[in-house]
A and B are shown apart, each in its own frame.
Chain A
Amino acid sequence: MSEPVIKCESVYKIFGENAETMLKEANGNVDAKTFQENGCIVGVNNASFEVSKGEMLVVMGLSGSGKSTLLRCISRLTDATGGKIFIEGQDLLNLNNKELIDLRRNKMGMVFQSFALLPHKTVVENIAFPLQIKGINTEQSINKAMDMVKLVGLDGRENYFPRELSGGQQQRVGIARSLAVEPDIWFLDEPFSALDPLIRKEMQDEFLRLQEKLQKTIMFITHDFDEALKLADRIAIMKDGIIEQLDTPANIVLNPATEYVRKFTEEVPREKVLLIEDVMDTTTTEQIGDLKVSKDEIIENVAEKILTQEKTVAVIDNNNNIVGSINPTKIINTVFGGRKNNN
């Protein structure tokens, strides 16, 4: 097992004048209310997690839940008040300014909710900006930026100014800019929240396509639970600065850890999220019907096939070995019944 790319150990971020002394006195027992009475606001409260290489961790929470603050602690746009953060084993909080700049120039890319493009630069200049900051000469950086322009499908618009582009196009520029230095770690702060629903879906698909190709280590912030389910390898759900649950989408939907998390999962169409593997019965492995389904299928895609069978259906893995079984009632229970049980 290789070292995690991002590793957080009890990270705290508390805003206010005497935040540090208060955190010390609290002794690891931070209560938002008492802090607030003393003029401090708790942004992130005891966050610990790891993200391994090539994994996409989606941090999901409503506004004010501290998700963006957490991201800014990890990118060190703000300094965490307490705890430790390691980026590929380097202690982030102990880096000096020069090392930090080096890290950002070579390892990190970030996409912002409001795009944050430089208004005085054209598309290609915006994308080339991080390269030029690194000291790469104009010709090389523009060439590289043109590759990026093609990657995000903006060819022909490289000489436009941000104000001449639509929101979706502007965010493509933002994405291209964050990828220009070929970073290992990619931070995305609600990248699609400011976009229209249709464009958002298109951008999500585009994003998945890119990730397939690039295999970055990603921290993705969103307030949209569906988006989180669609994109994530793992989801961290935050509330009032605390990570309520950190798990795979399926586990969150099937076993919400707290009342708060459960509320989100209630409205989720399970058949669209869960895989056969998540609901199958692993105890009986003998084949009963003729039909076989792959364990990696999303329930929705195979539900009709299974429901038309009267017998139990075998589940197979990639190598055609039978790994479990599933019967039609199970499917009906998952889709309709699960919710009733929880209520």
Chain B
Amino acid sequence: MELFKKYPKLFQWIFLLIVFFALCFAIDVPETYKFIRGQAEFVKDPNQSTFVFLGKEVRYYAFDVFWRLPPLLGWLPIWINDSLFFLMNDWMPMEFWNEDTQEYKTRPLVLQITRNLTAFMTFLIELIREILLGGLETIVAFTSWDWIDANPWAELPGLPWTIVAAGSAILAYKLGGRGLAIFAGLAMTYISIFGQWKPSMQTLSFILVAAPLSFIFGLSLGVAAFKSKRVEKALYPILLVMQTMPQYAVLVPALVLFGVGDHAAVIITMIVAVPPMILLTLLGLRAVPPEVIEAGRMSGCNNWQLMFKVLIPTARRDILIGVNQVIMVCFSMAVISAFIGAKGLGFNLLLALNQLNIGLALEAGLCISLIAILLDKMSLAWANKQVDYFGNLNFFQRNKNSLFFGLIMILGIALAYFGSIYFKGGYNYLFEVPHNKGISTADFWNKGVDWIFDTFFVYIKAFNTWLIVEVLQPMRALYLRMPAIATIVLVVGAGYLIGGTRSALVVCGLTLFIALSPWWDRALVTTYMATFGVIVSCIIGFTVGTLCFQNKHSTKFMLNVCDIFQTFPSFVYLIPVMMLFGITDTSVLIAVIVYATIPATRYTIEGLRSVPSGLHDAATMSGVTKFQRLFKIEFPLAFPHMMLGLNQTIVFALFMVIIGAFIGTEDLGQYILKALSDKKGAGIGLTLGICVAFIGLIFDNLIRTWVDKRKKHLGID
């Protein structure tokens, strides 16, 4: 009894677990129940029950409601789909002037808007692409195809790779000094020599449109949300869902709205990249000290000056993290949007992965990562750039970069011209190294993979079998064995114990949405994979983080490693694991673990770092050993921050699990992938995406509430 009074929370948790297990044992699996396919909704079967809602018929297998809830939300995907089609094809038809046919045409409003939007995006992408690679489209956009036929000389010639490489090095020098310049030059040369020039430039042109647009939109929406409470309230739920929504899931509805191609990819990228930008802008602006704002006002700033000269620069640290995120998402999407026909490295990467040509995939992946790191560093350097007012420079010194670029321009063209004479084989290597004519290391890698496979096949296979049979299968079976009611009780109970009624209600709503969708079993599989990944990632991340924290240099090194790894597009992680483990669940899980360990490590280090040094000293003076200090002082204080890392780890893990569908998993991701090739997949894809997002949000809500309470309790901000 005394124990009960001392630890009331503990007993509440134990009680919750008892109820949970009691429910699990009390409710048996129905005999006719087929896991995963148990709720199949696409087959017609006389045993199915049906109901009609909003004119949509939903078929399902009815079971004990305690075991699995009926898919009362089964109409939602169909309804979303129908509404989308209605919007696109029938809603508000209007007369629009058609340039090509010179007449008025009736078109639905939304279709017209999306078409104009895509035309604009296409123009932007083509413009940059043709400056880099050459082509006709931009000129056509201003004239017509007929005009081009009449004037065969009219074509953008494209820049020789030498000029682009040297140009980027000069830009890098101007922004960040010699180190960055060398990196830029080497990266570009590498890309060219290894024959990845064309796809790289295609990807680059896509990024150079998507990233700035996302930045501008994110920044302006963030500013709008900062200025008006109403805008913020309207944006907040969307931001929350978008943060945990897998990028895959957005593809499908966008496919319907914007069609296939680079322009659609840009728009989707913006949809995915803008929310974190908004959040970070808002966060940064909020953190500006009020006295700085007052100082700006007293200096006589009008609203515009206050925003752009005081608020945004002062908040630049968070805004820069936003830019970093935007770039990260852009590269991630550069690969994923290859599914809807975006050209470039992503397309090559997917193709190579599909053919199991690991070597080729590795090369493409490396190029993407190189460009990603380069752009990331350049944007950072740009933001931190300083002006020198006192240097007394002459004309040459002031303009040396432009002059130098002019020189390079002439030199590059001369070289390209010389090349066109020298290389008689039809390929001008000094202009562009063709895709299949560069140096390729693919064979080397493929042989390496083969060698690893031949040599270690037995061990890898043994490990693989052990993991699947002994760990993964039982875990998966356990997850699936949970009756729906037990899961809901557990989650809602946890919500209540952590955050009270409010939290319990929020969590209950999120869980019910998934439970009432037709994909509960699949959601369980997704959760099981994510859980496994998160547990292993956390163990690795917390251990590595703690170990690295013991030394200043290793701390810095580890944070840098995290930075670099974070810049890699998520798909790249699939390459090495497929190399080693082939097409199995193990591959997906290992990719998940690697990917999700990054935030776990980072937040552990940052959490430990945030422990005030005064406490550190106080502990040392009370004579604690290193271990005592770690376990009694640093861990408890750093724990809230580390839990935020757990939050991120879960989101990362979920993303990777969904992407893992590409390798082949039987979860929500598989259906999202399926929906991509389904004409009526938009509704399904979106609903599935929301399901995944909600899984993330359940954990997000629980962890955040706990962290807030704990922080208040510890008195840390």
A interface vs B, CB < 8 Å?
Answer: 72, 75, 77, 97, 101-102, 104-106, 108-110, 112-122, 124, 129-130, 133-134, 138, 142, 159, 174, 177-178, 181, 187
Contact = CB atoms under 8 A, between A and B. Distances in A.
A133 B299 CA distance: 7
Given A119-B314, A133-B305, A138-B389, A114 B300 contact: no
A116 B316 contact: no
Contacts of A102: 300
A97 B303 CA distance: 10
A138 to B, nearest CB: 7
B289 interface: yes
Nearest to B301: A133
B178 interface: no
Interface of B: 289, 291-292, 294-295, 297-302, 305, 309-310, 313-314, 316, 386, 389-390
Interface-centre pick from A112, A120, A130 (highest chain B CB count, 10 A): A120
A248 B538 CA distance: 67
A183 to B, nearest CB: 9
22 contacts: A72-B294, A101-B300, A104-B298, A105-B300, A108-B298, A110-B298, A112-B291, A112-B294, A112-B295, A114-B289, A115-B291, A116-B292, A117-B295, A118-B295, A118-B314, A119-B314, A130-B299, A133-B301, A133-B309, A159-B390, A177-B299, A181-B300
Nearest to A141: B389
Nearest to A104: B300
B302 A77 contact: no
A120 B297 contact: no
Contact of A109 (B292, B298, B316, B386): B298
Contacts of A178: 298
A117 B310 CA distance: 10
A130 B291 contact: no
Contacts of B298: 75, 77, 104, 108-110, 178, 187
Contacts of B300: 101-102, 104-106, 130, 133-134, 181
Given A124-B389, A133-B309, A116 B291 contact: yes
Contact of A120 (B291, B294, B301, B313): B313
A109 B305 CA distance: 17
- 10 tightest CB-CB pairs across the interface, nearest first? A105-B300, A130-B299, A116-B295, A116-B291, A110-B298, A104-B300, A112-B291, A120-B313, A116-B292, A114-B291
Contacts of A120: 313-314, 316
A219 to B, nearest CB: 13
Contacts of B301: 101, 133
Contacts of A129: 299, 309
Nearest to B298: A110
A77 B297 contact: yes
A284 to B, nearest CB: 52
Nearest to B388: A159
Given A106-B300, A112-B294, A130-B300, 12 more contacts: A101-B300, A104-B297, A105-B300, A116-B295, A117-B295, A118-B292, A118-B314, A133-B300, A133-B305, A138-B389, A174-B295, A187-B298
Contacts of B309: 129, 133
Given A116-B289, A118-B313, A118-B314, A110 B295 contact: yes
A113 B289 CA distance: 12
Most buried by B among A75, A118, A124, A178: A118
Contacts of B291: 112-116
Nearest to A132: B309
A265 B61 CA distance: 87
A292 B265 CA distance: 93
A106 B302 CA distance: 14
Contacts of A77: 294, 297-298
Contacts of B313: 118-121
A159 B292 CA distance: 20
A201 B302 CA distance: 36
B contacts with A: majority SS: helix
Nearest to B303: A97
Nearest to A126: B295
A159 B387 CA distance: 10
A97 B301 CA distance: 11
B410 to A, nearest CB: 33
A90 to B, nearest CB: 16
Nearest to A131: B299
A253 B505 CA distance: 63
A97 B289 CA distance: 23
Nearest to A113: B291
A85 B417 CA distance: 76
A4 to B, nearest CB: 21
Contacts of A72: 294
A49 B310 CA distance: 33
Contacts of B314: 118-120
B295 A97 contact: no
Contacts of A133: 299-301, 305, 309
Given A105-B300, A120-B316, A142 B389 contact: yes
A163 to B, nearest CB: 12
B317 to A, nearest CB: 9
Nearest to A102: B300
A285 B350 CA distance: 106
Contacts of B297: 77, 104
A152 to B, nearest CB: 16
A113 to B, nearest CB: 7
A178 B291 CA distance: 14
A172 to B, nearest CB: 15
B38 to A, nearest CB: 56
B381 to A, nearest CB: 14
A106 B299 CA distance: 9
Contacts of B390: 159
A106 B294 CA distance: 16
Nearest to A72: B294
Given A112-B291, A116-B291, A120-B316, A97 B302 contact: yes
A101 B294 contact: no
A133 B295 CA distance: 12
Contacts of B386: 122
A161 to B, nearest CB: 9
Nearest to A105: B300
Contacts of B292: 116-118
Contacts of A119: 313-314
Contacts of A117: 292, 295
Highest count of chain A CB atoms <10 Å: which of B291, B310, B316, B390: B291
A178 B298 CA distance: 9
Contacts of A113: 291
Contacts of A187: 298
A117 B386 CA distance: 17
Nearest to A128: B389
B316 A104 contact: no
Contacts of A124: 389
Of A101, A109, A138, A159, which is in contact with the most chain B CB atoms at under 10 Å from its CB?
A101
A61 B294 CA distance: 21
A123 to B, nearest CB: 11
Contacts of A159: 390
A174 B296 CA distance: 12
B95 to A, nearest CB: 44
A159 B388 CA distance: 9
Interface centre among B289, B294, B295, B386, by most chain A C-beta atoms within 10 angstroms, is: B295
A312 to B, nearest CB: 53
Nearest to B384: A120
A73 to B, nearest CB: 13
A218 to B, nearest CB: 15
Contact of B299 (A97, A104, A115): A104
Contacts of A134: 300
